[in-house]
Chain A
Amino acid sequence: MRIEWLLALRFLREGRAQTFFMLGGVTMGVGVIVFLTSLITGLQRSIIEKTLGTQAHVVMRPPDDEARRIIKADRSLAVSANVERRAQRLSSILQWQQIMRDLEKRPEVTAVSPLVAGPSFAIRGSATKSVALMGIDPERYTRIVPMPSFMKEGEFRVTANDTAIGIDLARELGVTLGDKIRLQTADGRSETVTVAGIFDVGIRDLNRRWVFITLRSAQNLLDLVGGVSSLDVTVRDLFTAEIISEQLAGQTGLTAESWMKTNAQLMVGLKSQSASSYLIQFFVIISVAFGIASVLVVSVIQKTREVGILRAMGCSRRRIQRIFLLQGGVVGLTGSLLGSGLGALLVTFFAKTAINPDGTPVFPVVLELNMFLIAAGVATITCILAAAAPAARAARLDPVVAIRNA
């Protein structure tokens, strides 16, 4: 062991109470940071998971060509932002099969699913409800939204004759498995299907409106033969969705909207939550640093004599400085380990106590190695930085002063 280490460790061991308080400070600090981080990460992740349970990461739609044409048509005219969309009539994505195949080839894309969506009525006897037709290719669609896992009754079987509807719509129409419902659009096209499955996606509005039918049925009903109204895409890394959506929009000429844009409000909420958590962590780190620095300053003063003796025996100033920096580092590292343990313990305890009536935790907390490593790294560096001023002071000590004063 190098002499700097030997001296640093021995000084720490000798200063029992001081070392204890420094370690305590770092442990608490790291504990709080670990606890806070894992709680907020877990919370945010579960919110995002819930949100994305029924959404694609990127939705691609036909370009808004009406608007473009008007702007092109008359450039001399001051273009008001008030370009009205053409009412109702659905437009299709041109050559969507080709685009879909191209998208699938991209490494960052994990699944693509075509969708023909449009308004309709669901009729059963005298009950009529306004619904959203979801024309899908079931195999592709379930790779994006795991419908089979949401099924309450029956199965997610979508064929020319079979449909899946939400639990609220089923109640409002008074249908159960095996019952028939008629789907009718505004221009009079209609089709009759049998309820093969009833789902609950956890969002009442969707449970009330979604009616799944095949792509072909939807194309017929919505007068969009051979076309699709959108392509749903999932990507490998959730948080790259926005960047990827911009790239896809640029390359395909379609409009693309990422889940982050769709849920902008949510993103703002999550971001400010993270920001306030960072602010708290920042101040925790600062106060730990001040604590370490003030204890070490005292310890340097108490070690004046030892420093003087060492200097008289040929110990360089740089070495003296390193001895005190090391003390900061050792306290930081040890405190980080203890603090990680403390944080993990708190989090586990919290997860065990805060549970829903059905026994699942309220917040699925996240404990990741990465977080511990970052917390430990930050704490150790903070402690070394905090030790810098006391260490410099120790290095500047005049050996004579130390030796004269017994």
Chain B
Amino acid sequence: MTETKAIIQLTDVHKQYGSDGITTKVLHGIDLTLQQGEFTALIGPSGSGKSTLLNIIGLLEQPTSGIIEVQGSKTGLLSEDELTAVRGRSLGFVFQFHHLIPAFSALENVMMPLMLAQGRPTSAQRLRAEELLTRVGLADRLDFKPGKLSGGQQQRVAIARALALNPPLILADEPTGNLDTAAADEIFKLLREVNQDSGTTFLIVTHDPRLAGRCSRVVELVDGRIVT
């Protein structure tokens, strides 16, 4: 295990909700390192803290205590704006409920991270988005608004979007959660392909043991503690 290749390193991360009065302890001393190129499944019962952990790794939420390092640098002292910048640069998200922006077409949704990074749309971004959508098998749905796409298609747009800036780490929260087996398999195959082609690191929350079995590594969370 070489430290330099760690994309993410968590040391003794705790998370509890609520300050005084009723507090809920969700994570109890998480230590976790994700190496570059790893394809990791995060499994565990409902309410065990998977989404919370993913959000903390994704710098969307602050841990109550503990250290988070992204590509070797600690994030604890960064301001909200700096965290936002790191998110834009290093992380791609595929959310549990695909979360596309309804007012924009599939193509524009995929362009969104690029437009945000560069400040304005360009034709190069358009080409890149077309390429990504073609890769996820949606070449004929470029100008469809999310509302006109099936659940699986929306999920594939969300994956193409997460890939747009070619981030070193993609965090996916139940990307196949509300899909049938065939569609889920297809999405999973796609993620695996990206992992193998570009060396992108993945952390995927899933309830499906069948899919977890196809990952190179499985992390199991029970009651806020890593058990494997």
Contacts and interface: CB of A to CB of B under 8 A. Distances in A.
Interface of A: 1-3, 6, 10-11, 13-14, 305-306, 308-319, 399-400, 403-404, 406
B87 A400 contact: no
Given A313-B87, A317-B81, A400-B60, A406 B116 contact: no
B60 A314 contact: no
A314 B51 contact: no
A404 B83 CA distance: 19
Given A306-B102, A314-B88, 11 more contacts: A6-B115, A10-B104, A309-B99, A313-B87, A313-B88, A313-B93, A313-B113, A317-B81, A317-B84, A319-B116, A406-B96
A29 B89 CA distance: 45
B82 to A, nearest CB: 10
B127 interface: no
Nearest to A2: B120
A305 B113 contact: no
B55 A403 contact: yes
Given A316-B84, A406-B97, A3 B51 contact: no
Interface in B159-176: 161
B61 interface: yes
Given A312-B93, A314-B89, A11 B116 contact: no
The 9 closest A-B pairs by CB, nearest first: A314-B88, A406-B97, A14-B103, A10-B103, A3-B115, A313-B113, A400-B60, A314-B87, A309-B99
B95 A403 contact: yes
B103 A13 contact: yes
A312 B161 CA distance: 12
B116 A315 contact: yes
B97 to A, nearest CB: 4
B57 to A, nearest CB: 12
A317 B80 contact: yes
Contacts of A403: 55, 60, 95, 99
B99 A305 contact: yes
Contacts of B81: 316-318
B117 interface: yes
B99 A6 contact: no
A105 B120 CA distance: 60
14 contacts: A2-B119, A3-B115, A11-B103, A308-B99, A310-B116, A314-B116, A315-B84, A316-B85, A317-B84, A319-B116, A403-B55, A404-B55, A406-B96, A406-B99
A373 B50 CA distance: 57
B89 A404 contact: no
A245 to B, nearest CB: 59
Contact of B120 (A1, A11, A305, A311): A1
B139 interface: no
A406 B98 CA distance: 9
A331 to B, nearest CB: 16
A400 B85 CA distance: 16
Interface string B60-97: 11000000000000000000110011011100010111
Given A313-B113, A403-B60, A6 B51 contact: no
